[in-house]
Amino acid sequence: MTDLTKMTVAELKQYLSENRSDDDKFSEALQELLRREPNPVIYSKDMPLAEQERIFMEKIAKP
């Protein structure tokens, strides 16, 4: 098991990119990444899946 808490933000983003098809790994890494955000943005649970994916991919692409 990978210790996500010891990864840098860049490492987490790489991990997300590499594990985007593994729902469990992706979800855990995304939660860790979002925990580190000092001012989280809350999104509507009714947001279309395509919009969610676009937002996640933008966040992963940011350095």
Q: What is the DSSP string of the chain?
A: ---GGGS-HHHHHHHHHHTTT-HHHHHHHHHHHHHT-SSPPP--TTS-HHHHHHHHHHHHH--
Residue 28, token pair as written in the block: 């855990």
How confident is the model over 32-57, as pLDDT tens digits?
Answer: 988 987 787 788 889 999 998 998 88
Range of the domain at 43: 4-61
The count of structural domains within the chain is: 1
Question: pTM for the whole thing?
Answer: 0.61
59 with 49: CB under 8 angstroms?
no
Q: Which residue type occupies 5?
A: T
Residue 24, token pair as written in the block: 């469990």
Report the percentage of the chain scoring pLDDT > 90.
56
